[in-house]
Amino acid sequence: MENTSNIYLDKKALAYNIDFLRKEMGEDVLISSVVKGNAYGHGIETYVPLAEASGIRHFSVFSAEEAIKVKGCLKGDIPIMIMGFLSEAQLEWAIENEVEFFIFDFKRLRHAIHHAKLLGKKALFHLELETGMNRTGFDYATLKKEVFPFLKENTTSFVFKGICTHFAGAESISNYLRIEEQKKVFLKLRNAVLKAGFEPEYTHTCCSAATIRLPKMRFNMVRIGILQYGLWPSPEIKIEYLRRKKLQAFNLKRVLTWKSELMSIKDVKMGEFIGYGNNYQTSENKRIGIIPVGYANGYSRVLSNIGRVLINDIRTAVFGNVNMNSLAIDLSNAPEAKVGDEVILIGEKGEHEISVASFGELSNQLNYELLTRLPMDIPRLVECS
Ligand SMILES: *Cc1c(COP(=O)(O)O)cnc(C)c1O
């Protein structure tokens, strides 16, 4: 290995997940693949071409920067939707390049129409509606008083691509009441849009969790992030899916594997401390291995003394504090281990697995946070299981 660690994306696993999603959604629901956060750490440049090859025909990102990256690695003429940040110059870029974007305040709406006119193009927008997340979106009063009249004066400068909203925590049953309220508000606002005579092409409200929990809210488009990567938004959502389908077991396939290698081996006498400080003292003579991955490489410091890795089919423990660029593991049960041997930080080997979820549970990080913190500079490589 030339690098201290590599991330591998499993093409077959991704094809399996996307196939599952397509069957689950049916023909009439467009799946937008959400690839913000560097494709949830999978790496936009590596992930997006695989997703396109697996049949994805719409992508969602947070920023214009990400949209530019996605555009650069697509083969086909596939729509990209920016859900978050755009500077005014980037807004102009989006209109010029027919990139779709959310509009959630009147200033962006005015700028969009203004630049569409100057460019002689149409702004392709999705109107975001405020339903109770209280992040971004238009409320009823603003729609009626400002948005509708303004749009009616400018009908030739835009394509009404969609209306949308986002649920505030659909992955947890504890948010049930809040989500129910959001549903009601969304249906009311949607009615107002339709009554005012507009015909948005798409209606979309569902992220992964809502897609499973609220199938009626799928309308004709869903925005799927975490599920396509083979992970569940929360254990609850997986249970809900199994129950509804009356299944005993079902799993998506984890797309990502993270591997490093053994950099050095050392025998340490009983009673010695390992690494910085005195977080770990050996209770007997120990053999330890050093892995060239630390918190600067996305391996959380919280996993000090807690993390688990796989080496030669054996599951073993992280000893002591995770350093900036290295960590120590126990080799007592792997006497054959030698420098250069593969070490799996996330992934499976033989009977053992270090899942993203287990990794996350140990460090109290959500799947989402853990993945998106994997640094950009770890190489992403494609493999086929
Ligand atoms: C991130 C995001 C999604 C995707 O969420 P998942 O839980 O990963 O499916 C959908 N919609 C919006 C607005 C988002 O920001």
Residue 39 Cβ inside 6 Å of ligand 1? The answer reads no
**Rounded CA separation 50/339 (Å):** 33
Does 141 share its domain with 96?
A: yes
Residue 209 Cβ inside 6 Å of ligand 1? The answer reads yes
Question: What CATH number is given to the structural domain containing 261?
Answer: 2.40.37.10
Q: How far is the CA of 63 from the centre of ligand 1 (A)?
A: 13
Query: Under a CB-based contact definition with an 8 Å cutoff, are residues 354 and 348 in contact?
Result: yes
pLDDT per position in the chain (385 positions), as tens? 789 999 999 999 999 999 999 999 999 999 999 999 999 999 999 999 999 999 999 999 999 999 999 999 999 999 999 999 999 999 999 999 999 999 999 999 999 999 999 999 999 999 999 999 999 999 999 999 999 999 999 999 999 999 999 999 988 888 999 999 999 999 999 999 999 999 999 999 999 999 999 999 999 999 999 999 999 999 899 999 999 999 999 999 999 999 999 999 999 999 999 988 888 999 999 999 999 999 999 999 999 999 999 999 899 999 999 999 999 999 999 999 999 999 999 999 989 999 988 777 777 677 888 899 999 999 999 987 7
Does 270 share its domain with 212?
A: no
Asked if residue 88 is part of any domain, the answer here is: yes
Structurally, how many domains does the chain consist of? 2
What are 128-140's pLDDT values in tens digits?
999 999 999 999 9
101: left (phi over 0), alpha (psi -120 to 50) or beta: beta
324 in a labelled binding site: yes
Q: How far is the CA of 306 from the centre of ligand 1 (A)?
A: 30
Residue 233 Cβ inside 6 Å of ligand 1? The answer reads yes
Residue of 8, 36, 280, 286 with catalytic role = 36
Position in ligand 1 atom list of the atom nearest CA 40: 8
Q: According to the model, what pLDDT value does residue 220 have? A: 98
Q: According to the model, what pLDDT value does residue 361 have? A: 72
Does 193 share its domain with 290?
A: no
Residue 137 Cβ inside 6 Å of ligand 1? The answer reads no
Q: According to the model, what pLDDT value does residue 128 have? A: 98
Q: According to the model, what pLDDT value does residue 369 have? A: 87
Asked if residue 3 is part of any domain, the answer here is: no
Asked if residue 248 is part of any domain, the answer here is: no
Q: According to the model, what pLDDT value does residue 364 have? A: 67
Tell me which residue range forms the domain holding 353. Answer: 256-365
Asked if residue 134 is part of any domain, the answer here is: yes
Does 65 share its domain with 197?
A: yes
Asked if residue 376 is part of any domain, the answer here is: no
Strand partners, 125: 101, 160
**Rounded CA separation 196/209 (Å):** 31
Query: Under a CB-based contact definition with an 8 Å cutoff, are residues 197 and 215 in contact?
Result: no
**Is position 36 annotated as part of the catalytic site?**
yes
Residue 64 Cβ inside 6 Å of ligand 1? The answer reads no
**Rounded CA separation 171/70 (Å):** 27
Q: How far is the CA of 82 from the centre of ligand 1 (A)?
A: 12
Q: How far is the CA of 263 from the centre of ligand 1 (A)?
A: 38
135 in a labelled binding site: yes
**Is position 266 annotated as part of the catalytic site?**
no
Query: Under a CB-based contact definition with an 8 Å cutoff, are residues 228 and 33 in contact?
Result: yes
Q: According to the model, what pLDDT value does residue 360 have? A: 74
Does 122 share its domain with 178?
A: yes
Q: Is 228 helix (H, G, I), strand (E, B) or coil?
A: helix
Does 37 share its domain with 169?
A: yes
Does 21 share its domain with 165?
A: yes
Question: What CATH number is given to the structural domain containing 189?
Answer: 3.20.20.10
Position in ligand 1 atom list of the atom nearest CA 368: 8
